[in-house]
């Protein structure tokens, strides 16, 4: 899995389905947990390994990989020493067993420290320090150490109210509850479709589609968190995505929540709509670095060329969506990215291309206070936002209005 993520640029989910297809569910879950902890702690694990070796082990050497796995279990999962030594050494049988045994022994004797605020990869810390400042980097380091909380979005206020009355939870926005449990299966109301799991930050873009908009195009819609919000708000929703399998998940989600949308499987760069829309929500594909708490691998996958490629795709999608709006129509653009190229710069460049759009700043009270608009009129969620309440995914959201 780690090789898939670190060398081949796969997602952890993608790498895990190939790597662990033959494992029993328990073992698969354990393997995923070890891989996740390793990615969360990687720069610090490497620091420990380097402190106990005379010659630096190559990044993709088997010895380093096995030491990372063993230390991630020790620090991240609390595995007892004898168990992690017993599982690490057979992985290097016939190879660098003595080396791994020696380094692991040295580190365990020395005592391995808890890591309260793991380092992010150097390149990411540099980028985010330049974009958002030192405090945001320190907050990101604290946040990657913990499992993020579970946020639910409800279709109806009344159901959110009833749920809150019966379960320990906290509402940070209308139709939102942050719940104490981390297990979806343990919570009532999932099968009956009263709510869906959605990070609170990810629920902000759809909140900016005005109530008066009748026809709404959800462009890049799957798996459908925002489609469900729009349908629940009473809009006539067309939901488009190019991925058939992700659209299948969207279809299941709509069925479960008994909400309605017209589904279109198409490439937005080729598709031509038959009519114009009152509003378009473009939740664009992106580097997803804002989701680093749940998916630490994004920190390794999102290298500058990938970010630049994403930004190109986002510009093309913005330009196409712009042509499909009625005059006076609303375009909400969002990305779960902490890279300014995919947010602030993407929208600034779009406005600069002069298609008759301007920023439509959210009115006071339209979004919760933690999502106050910047001077430029867009919303930027950085690490550290609502930290005491458990934090948020990183996000960028801009609402634009078509003047002509
Ligand atoms: C950020 S995700 C969307 C998440 C979704 N809005 C939600 O709230 O659940 C981006 C989506 O864009 C889709 N996508 C990427 N390129 C596309 C294209 N050229 N045309 C249509 N969909 C595309 C991907 O399949 C992916 O589902």
Catalytic status, residue 336 = yes
Distance CA 367, CA 382 (A): 16
pLDDT tier for residue 18 given thresholds of 50, 70 and 90 = confident
Q: Tell me how crowded residue 129 is: count the other CB atoms within 10 A of its CB.
A: 15
326 close to 276: Cβ distance less than 8 angstroms: yes
Does pLDDT of 148 surpass 70?
Answer: yes
148 close to 184: Cβ distance less than 8 angstroms: no
- Whether this prediction's pTM lies above 0.85 is answered by yes
Q: What distances in angstroms separate CA 64 from CA 47, 80, 298, 343, one per listed residue?
A: 11, 20, 21, 36
The number of the ligand 1 atom at minimal distance from the alpha carbon of 281 is 6
Q: What would the pLDDT profile of 91-125 be if each residue is shown by its tens digit?
A: 999 999 999 999 999 999 999 999 999 999 999 99
Please name the helix (run of DSSP H) or strand (run of DSSP E) that holds residue 208, with its range, or none: none
Distance CA 195, CA 186 (A): 13
- Give the pairing of strands 195-197 and 262-265: unpaired
Pocket-forming residues, ligand 1, beta carbon under 6 Å: 220-226, 240-243, 246, 267-269, 283, 285
In 3D space, the residue among 368, 42, 339 whose CA is nearest the CA of residue 208 turns out to be: 368
Question: Residue of the nearest CA to atom 14 in ligand 1?
Answer: 220
Ligand 1: which of 238, 242, 244, 254 to mutate, most ligand atoms within 8 Å of CB? 242
Sheet holding 176-179, edge to edge: 169-170, 176-179, 150-154, 195-197
How many CA atoms does the CB half-sphere of 151 hold within 13 Å?
22
340 close to 307: Cβ distance less than 8 angstroms: no
Q: What distances in angstroms separate CA 190 from CA 41, 152, 186, 197, 235, one per listed residue?
A: 33, 10, 9, 9, 23
Q: What would the pLDDT profile of 236-292 be if each residue is shown by its tens digit?
A: 999 999 999 999 999 999 999 999 999 999 999 999 999 999 999 999 999 999 999
Please name the helix (run of DSSP H) or strand (run of DSSP E) that holds residue 269, with its range, or none: none
Length of the chain as a residue count: 404
Average pLDDT over residues 212-227: 95
The number of the ligand 1 atom at minimal distance from the alpha carbon of 286 is 1
Question: Residue of the nearest CA to atom 25 in ligand 1?
Answer: 243
Average pLDDT over residues 51-63: 94
Judged by average pLDDT, the poorest of 168-172, 179-183, 344-348 is 179-183
The alpha carbon of 265 and the centre of ligand 1 are apart by a number of angstroms equal to 11
pLDDT at 404: 66
The alpha carbon of 59 and the centre of ligand 1 are apart by a number of angstroms equal to 33
Q: Which residue has the tokens 């080396």?
A: 99
């Amino acid at each position: 899995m780690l090789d898939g993520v670190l060398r081949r640029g796969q997602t952890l989910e993608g790498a895990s389905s190939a790597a662990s297809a033959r494992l029993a569910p328990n073992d698969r879950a354990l393997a995923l947990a070890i891989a996740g902890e390793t990615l969360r702690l990687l720069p610090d694990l490497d620091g420990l390994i380097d402190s106990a070796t005379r010659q630096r082990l190559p990044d993709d050497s088997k010895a380093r990989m096995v030491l990372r796995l063993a230390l991630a279990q020790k620090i991240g999962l609390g595995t007892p020493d004898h168990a992690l030594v017993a599982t690490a050494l057979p992985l290097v049988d016939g190879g660098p067993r003595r080396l791994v045994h020696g380094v692991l022994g040295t580190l365990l004797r020395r005592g391995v420290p808890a890591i309260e605020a793991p380092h992010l990869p150097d390149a990411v810390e540099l980028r985010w320090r330049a974009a958002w400042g030192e405090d945001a980097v320190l907050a990101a380091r604290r946040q990657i150490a913990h499992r993020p909380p579970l946020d639910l979005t409800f279709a109806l206020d009344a159901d959110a109210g009833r749920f809150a009355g019966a379960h320990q939870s906290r509402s940070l926005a209308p139709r939102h509850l942050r719940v104490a449990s981390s297990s979806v299966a343990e919570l009532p109301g999932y099968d009956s479709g009263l709510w869906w799991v959605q990070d609170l930050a990810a629920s902000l873009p759809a909140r900016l589609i005005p109530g008066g908009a009748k026809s709404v195009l959800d462009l890049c819609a799957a798996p459908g968190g925002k489609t469900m919000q729009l349908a629940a708000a009473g809009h006539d929703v067309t939901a488009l995505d190019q991925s058939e399998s992700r659209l299948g998940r969207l279809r299941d989600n709509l069925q479960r929540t008994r909400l309605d949308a017209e589904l279109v499987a198409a490439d937005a760069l080729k598709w031509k709509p038959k009519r114009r829309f009152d509003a378009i929500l473009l939740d664009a594909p992106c580097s997803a670095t804002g989701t680093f708490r749940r998916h630490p691998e994004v920190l390794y996958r999102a290298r500058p060329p990938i970010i630049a490629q994403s930004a190109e795709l986002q510009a093309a999608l913005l330009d196409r969506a712009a042509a499909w709006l009625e005059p006076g129509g609303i375009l909400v653009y969002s990305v779960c990215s902490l890279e300014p190229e995919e947010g602030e710069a993407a929208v600034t460049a779009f406005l600069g291309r002069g298609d008759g759009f301007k920023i439509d700043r959210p009115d006071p009270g339209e979004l919760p206070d933690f999502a106050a608009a910047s001077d430029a009129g867009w919303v930027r969620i950085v690490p550290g936002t609502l930290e005491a309440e458990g934090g948020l995914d990183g996000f960028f959201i801009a609402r634009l209005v078509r003047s002509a």
